[in-house]
Chain A
Amino acid sequence: MSIFKYSSPAMFFPLAGKLLPWFSALAVLFGAIGLYLGLFVAPEDFQQGEVYRIIFIHVPAAWMAMFIYLVMAMYGVMALTLNTRLSAMMMEALAPTGAIFTALALWTGALWGRPTWGTYWAWDARMTSTLILLFLYVGYIALINAIEDKKRADKAGALLVIVGSVNVPIIYFSVKWWNTLHQGLSVSATAPSKMASIMLWAMLTMAIACWMYAIAISLVRVRAIICERERDRILGQERIRRREPAPGSAVASL
């Protein structure tokens, strides 16, 4: 049994409930420290002035945008090879958060670009690839919502994300290639002149906060998905638990 026990959605449901407060607390803690460091402790940037502080949310959002898609692809491989329902549910739970982080990366990038390079949007390689990543998230969400049979939606979504993740490096390379072909649009100085170590720490702390937040919110979402799709199993489990409370069992707290 060991950890594979938790690959069953009904078994994972209470575990997710137990983990949730920890990840929420970590997200709040790291977020508070990161914001304090980023907004109050880190000094003004030599070249960009105060506006560089957008980096403390822009870079974490951009990292999470890519990272969540990668995690989804890993769950996708598990969903197709091991045939685990929970992996597909995790993908479904992660996708909206990934899409939100991608949109935020674009939004904060635009608001940072305007004062630093004088334009909200440049067809720069990184911005363009992030936009395409947003399309990939939207495609996945649209696909799983369009397919009525949940089992098929799970597998189709898993395959799509795997194909997409294989394509992401090719897309990134091609967009970079395209960008060098059309010179003049490339924008440098995306990072402040010289990252003081306190800036780096603030950024990393914010990245950890975003990571913990993503885990926490997808745990809540996956619990909702499990309740919606495995209602009978959760119900049976709850009936057993409430009639014969087994002390110290793994499903003790909902």
Chain B
Amino acid sequence: MNWAEFFSMDGRGFYVWGSFGAFAIAIVVEIIFVRLRAGRAQAAIEDALLADKARGRMQ
């Protein structure tokens, strides 16, 4: 199989790759944003736990 032929998709590559590309971009962007949000939320909890430890050491 020829890759150039595969990507051209009968000359309709714009439509096919426009669809698959948008799909991939949407998923990647969603994953990035959700992981950032989860990371921030969990970091806040880790911070609080670290503060716990610091307080424990002082006592």
How many A-B contacts at CB < 8 Å in the complex?
87
- Contact (A108, B49) CB under 8 Å given A103-B26, A228-B41: no
Binding site secondary structure of chain B: helix
Give per-residue flags for A215-237: 1 if the beta carbon is below 8 A from chain B beta carbons, else 0: 00100110111011001001100
Contact of B12 among A50, A58, A220, A223 (CB under 8 A): A50
B41 touches A114 (CB 8 A): no
Residues of B within 8 A of A127 (CB): none
With a cutoff of 8 Å between Cβ atoms, the chain A residues found around residue B16 in the complex are 50-51, 53-54, 111
| 17 contacting pairs across A/B (C-beta < 8 A) | A50-B9, A50-B10, A53-B9, A58-B19, A61-B23, A100-B26, A103-B26, A104-B26, A111-B18, A217-B34, A221-B34, A224-B40, A231-B45, A235-B45, A238-B49, A239-B52, A242-B49
Contact residue among B10, B19, B34, B38 (Cβ-Cβ distance under 8 Å from A227): B38
Instruction: Collect the chain B residues with CB atoms within 8 Å of residue A103's CB.
Output: 26
Across-interface contacts of B9 in A (CB, < 8 A): 49-51, 53
Q: Which residues of B contact A50 (CB under 8 A)?
A: 9-10, 12, 16
CA distance A92 to B15 in the complex (A): 33
A25 CB → nearest B CB, Å: 14
A108 in contact with B23 given A115-B12, A217-B31, A224-B34 (CB within 8 Å)? yes
A236 to chain B, nearest CB (A): 10
Nearest A-chain residue to B42, judged by Cβ:
A227
Q: Nearest chain-B residue to A234 (Cβ)?
A: B45
| Shortest Cβ distance from residue B59 to the other chain A in the assembled complex, whole angstroms | 14
- Whether the pair A111, B49 counts as a contact (CB closer than 8 A) is no
Q: Which residues of B are found within 8 Å of A235, using beta-carbon distances?
A: 45, 48-49
B23 touches A104 (CB 8 A): yes
Query: In the complex, A107→B44 CA distance in Å?
Result: 37
Nearest-Cβ distance from residue A34 to partner chain B, whole angstroms: 12
Q: How far is the CB of A231 from chain B (nearest CB, A)?
A: 6
Q: Taking the complex as formed, is A23 at the interface, i.e. its CB lies under 8 A from any CB of chain B?
A: no
Question: Provided the pairs A224-B38, A239-B52 are in contact, do residues A108 and B45 lie with their beta carbons within 8 angstroms?
Answer: no
Q: Which of B16, B35, B40 has the most CB of A within 10 A?
A: B16
| Cβ–Cβ contact B41 & A107, under 8 A | no
Which residues of chain B are near A202, meaning CB under 8 Å? none
Q: How far is the CA of A223 from the CA of B41 in the complex (A)?
A: 9
Known: A223-B38, A227-B42, A239-B52. A57 touches B30 (CB 8 A): no
